[in-house]
Structure 1
C-alpha cells in the first residue's frame, strides 16, 4: 500500500511534535529554544531564500516523521548551494519513504533557488544552526548535485 506524506514548511501545530526528532538525535537545543527558532519560520507565508526554513514530513496519521533545516549558501568550490545543517528522519516502517519524501522536497527547493548542489551536513550536535562550533568548509557533509 503506497504511503503519502505531507512535506512542506513547518506549521504551528508541528513545532512541539517535531522537537522529539531534534532531541532524539542529540542536538543540544531545549524546547523553548526550538519554539523560538520555529516561530519566525511559522510566521512567514512563503519560503525565503535568505533565511533558515524548517521543513517537516508528516504521515497520514499526523505524526511528524522527518524534519530538516534549509538555507541558501555559497561555497568557494561549488558556488550557490542549498545548505541542510539538520536532516532527521524517523520511521518504524518506512524510513526510506520518509527520507525520499524529505530529500525530494529539499532537491526541488534547491532547483527552484538555482542551486547547483545540496549539502547535507553530517549528524553532529555542533552543526546546529547558529552554533559557534559549526564546522565550515566543503567537507562537512554529503554533496548532492542538483540536475
Structure 2
C-alpha cells in the first residue's frame, strides 16, 4: 500500500480530481490479491535510487482485432523536474520489454490529452514515444456516462445486435 500511496501525486497529474480511495481501489485491483486471474495486468514504475517514483503506467494484456495479443497501456505519467527524457525512456523500454516477455504482438498506449501536443506545440511526450518507434494509430474518444440520465442504455430500434 505504501508504493500505491507514493504514486498518488503522479496520478493526480493526469487525473487531478481523482480521490485517493479510487486510486487505491484501482491499483489494488491490478496488483493485489484481488487482481483478476488469467490475462496479466499491473502497474510499472520508474524510481530513482532513493525509491522515489518518477513515472508509471498501468497495463493489461488484451486481445485486439487487428494485432491479436497486445499490451494495452494506460495512465502513462512522468514527473521529473530535471530529466523527463530519461524517466520517459526508461518507462518506454520497460513497456517494450514487458510486451515481449508477455508474448504480445503490439503495444497500444492511451495518452492523456495533456500529452497530445507535439514537442514544438506543447508537451514533448509524444515525441518520446515516436523516438521509440510508436506511431499514432487512431483516436480514442470518451463520453462519461455516470450520473447522466440522458445517456442511459436504451434498446436499439434500427440496428441489430452483433451475434
> TM-score, structure 2 length as denominator?
0.62
Whether 1:64 and 2:63 are equivalent positions in the alignment is no
Structure whose CA Rg is larger: 2
Distance (whole Å) between structure 1 residues aligned to residue 7 and residue 104 of structure 2: 27
Whether 1:52 and 2:41 are equivalent positions in the alignment is yes
- Tell me what 2:89 maps to: 100
Aligned residues: 117
- Tell me what 1:139 maps to: 138
| Misfit runs of 4+, over 3 Å | none
Greater fraction helix:
2
Answer 1 or 2: higher relative contact order, Cα 8 Å, separation at least 6.
Answer: 1
Instruction: Name structure 1 gaps, 5 residues minimum.
Output: 1-11, 126-137, 142-147
Distance (whole Å) between structure 2 residues aligned to residue 26 and residue 41 of structure 1: 18
Query: Is the 1:49–1:113 contact (alpha carbons within 8 Å) kept by the matching residues of 2?
Result: no
Instruction: Name structure 2 gaps, 5 residues minimum.
Output: 115-136, 141-163
> TM-score, structure 1 length as denominator?
0.68
Whether 1:40 and 2:39 are equivalent positions in the alignment is no
Which stretch shows the higher mean deviation, 60-69 or 20-29? 20-29
SS in 2 for 1:139: coil
Please state how far the C-alpha of 1:73 moved relative to its aligned partner.
1.4
Let me know the Cα RMSD of the aligned residues: 2.6
